[in-house]
Amino acid sequence: MIDTKRMRAIEINSEALGIPTLLLMENAGRSVKDEILARIKPNNAVIFVGHGGKGGDGLVTARHLASEGVKVKVIVLGENKHKDAVFNYNAILDMDYSIEINEIKDLEELKPVEADVLVDAMLGTGFRGKPREPFATAIRVFNESKGFKVSIDLPSGIDADTGEAPGEYVKPDLVVTFHDMKKGLLRYNFNVVVKKIGIPPEAEIYVGPGDVVVSIKKRDYKSKKGDNGRVLVIGGSYTFTGAPTLSALAALRTGADLVYVASCEETAKIIAGYSPDLIAIKLSGKNISPNNLEELKPWIDRADSVIIGPGMGLSEETIEASKMIVNYLMEKNKPAVIDADALKAISGYKLYPNAVITPHAGEFKIFFKEETEKDIRKRIAQVVEKAKECNCVVLLKGYVDIVSDGKEFRLNKTGNPGMTVGGTGDTLTGIVGTFLAQKLSPFDAAAIGVFVNSLSGTLAYSELGPHITPSDILNKIPVVLNDPIESFKKKIYKRVVNS
């Protein structure tokens, strides 16, 4: 079962992998033809064609039925600007012997028809609300027409996600839906066939540019400071100042409005000196300790998400502080990324669904008390099991990154050998923390976050080779977020050229 957002992401990912949507449309239309011919042997067919990809699927169906000797009439309900639909409309324009095209200019032209087959290619998965004209009339006419009625993907007039139909909707004899069952269809007792159309499994399993496109919203023009996320980074120590700084700067580059870095007093002063963009919170003491919890509580409460761990160190007092802070995060159910030293400090903890942990193989061993599996399929199963066990999202970093919430998993393979440099995990936590602050689910925040971090690093690697620094990744984060599809194409192109 799938919703429209996920389906759109998969289609974009599929195209990014080299399977164009035009090919998917071709496969969809041909599968509709096959399902029709498996049931009846029509002499004629009438296809009601609307907008978007569904209209294009109908045009492909028309062409394939005509190729089987069926006399086809296409009723066109307005201009379709979808690029693939335009291609397929042009493909049938000169098929005037086998296909009759009737462009509707006036509602009075819409009358019930009789044919062996009637195909509904009017309103697709993007439809919401009540059908407007000419579709309201066309749907009524379709239902009043006589013949074997087939809906492409889902009946026109029905919301693909909710199944709601506040206005006219098609009542078909058969629904041919694509790739997976649409959620909205479950509310009805339609005869539904699910047809695969050539989308590779990797378009679902691997995080891709489609996930970024459908999940990262453009800013509201009227938004005010704080609307796009407040992120608190708790980290740093007398020895380590760079790690929390990188996390915080990555959070800003990802689009957080406000980023606070809470660290012990002298460390906070150094962090503040790195960039005027950061808000440094000066905690008392030389290292973060249990005494700082009361100082931190108001900042934790104010933040939309919290990152804890980068550069915190593992002094005895800091380990105890990490446990106390994580317990408070659990009490508040605060979206959080727990990484690095904080993750080591809470080894064996059972966490909560709003938490994301981001271990590499060594940290995974410390936290879960076992080595990561060598075989990738066994490692995936291991991460799924451990995510369920610790009741949180696990992002295991590696050549292939694995993300799981204990129920499903996603993989990422957009990194490069240059990202073994220290600090790339800190930029990752900043990106994931911002997506959490912007209300993405922990699973999506982790999966999309590791994709953005890795692809940013790969863009830098394509320019600098194995000489990149975490700061180079920071500079590429906006490039990836502004145009994830083109950024991914550059990665694919470089890989092909260099192979």
213-498 CATH fold: UDP-N-acetylmuramoyl-L-alanine:D-glutamate ligase (3.40.1190)
Is 124 a known ligand-binding residue?
yes
For 54, 140, 250, the CA distances from 450, given in Å and listed in that order, are 33, 48, 12
Is 184 a known ligand-binding residue?
no
Residue 218: how many CB atoms within 10 A of its CB?
A: 5
Backbone torsions φ then ψ of 149, nearest 5 degrees: -95, 130
Is 426 a known ligand-binding residue?
yes
Is 409 a known ligand-binding residue?
no
Q: Would you give the DSSP letter of residue 28?
A: H
Is 311 a known ligand-binding residue?
yes
Look at residue 65 in the predicted model and tell me its pLDDT.
Answer: 98
What residues does each domain of the chain span? 4-205, 213-498
Look at residue 370 in the predicted model and tell me its pLDDT.
Answer: 95
For 33, 61, 209, 232, 414, the CA distances from 338, given in Å and listed in that order, are 52, 51, 26, 12, 23
Residue 169: how many CB atoms within 10 A of its CB?
A: 26
Residues in the chain: 499
- 134 preceded by cis ω (within 30°)? yes
Look at residue 150 in the predicted model and tell me its pLDDT.
Answer: 98
What's the rounded Cα separation, in Å, for the pair 131 and 303?
A: 42
Return the structure tokens found at 289: 């300790």
What's the rounded Cα separation, in Å, for the pair 239 and 224?
A: 37
What's the rounded Cα separation, in Å, for the pair 65 and 35?
A: 11
H or E stretch at 397: none
Look at residue 499 in the predicted model and tell me its pLDDT.
Answer: 40
Largest CA distance in the chain: 86
Is 127 a known ligand-binding residue?
yes
Look at residue 492 in the predicted model and tell me its pLDDT.
Answer: 55
What's the rounded Cα separation, in Å, for the pair 330 and 357?
A: 13
Is 120 a known ligand-binding residue?
yes
Q: Would you give the DSSP letter of residue 219?
A: P
Look at residue 110 in the predicted model and tell me its pLDDT.
Answer: 95
Is 159 a known ligand-binding residue?
no
What's the rounded Cα separation, in Å, for the pair 315 and 286?
A: 11
Is 64 a known ligand-binding residue?
no
Nearest C-alpha neighbor of 85 from the set 124, 127, 117: 124
Is 309 a known ligand-binding residue?
no
pLDDT tens digits, 87-133: 999 999 999 999 999 999 999 999 999 999 999 999 999 999 999 99
Nearest C-alpha neighbor of 457 from the set 445, 444, 466: 466
Is domain 4-205 in CATH 3.40.50.10260, yes or no? yes
Look at residue 221 in the predicted model and tell me its pLDDT.
Answer: 84
Q: How do the pLDDT tens digits run along the chain, 499 residues long?
A: 999 999 999 999 999 999 999 999 999 999 999 999 999 999 999 999 998 999 999 999 999 999 999 999 999 999 899 999 999 999 999 999 999 999 999 999 999 999 999 999 999 999 999 999 999 999 999 999 999 999 999 999 999 999 999 999 999 999 999 999 999 999 999 999 999 999 999 999 999 999 999 999 888 888 888 889 999 999 998 888 999 999 999 999 999 999 999 999 888 999 888 989 999 999 999 899 999 999 999 999 999 999 999 999 999 999 999 999 999 999 999 999 999 999 999 999 999 999 999 999 999 999 999 999 999 999 999 999 999 999 999 999 999 999 999 999 999 999 999 999 999 999 999 999 999 999 999 999 999 999 999 999 999 999 999 899 999 999 999 999 999 999 998 875 454 444 4
Q: Would you give the DSSP letter of residue 132?
A: P
H or E stretch at 84: helix 83-92
What's the rounded Cα separation, in Å, for the pair 368 and 473?
A: 30
Is 153 a known ligand-binding residue?
yes
Question: How far out from the chain centre does Cα 89 lie?
Answer: 31
What's the rounded Cα separation, in Å, for the pair 424 and 447?
A: 16
What's the rounded Cα separation, in Å, for the pair 209 and 238?
A: 39
Assess contact for 498 and 465: CB atoms under 8 A.
no
Q: Is 408 helix (H, G, I), strand (E, B) or coil?
A: coil
pLDDT tens digits, 394-421: 999 999 999 999 999 999 999 999 999 9
Is 125 a known ligand-binding residue?
yes
Assess contact for 446 and 366: CB atoms under 8 A.
no
Backbone torsions φ then ψ of 12, nearest 5 degrees: -65, -45
Residue type, 113: V
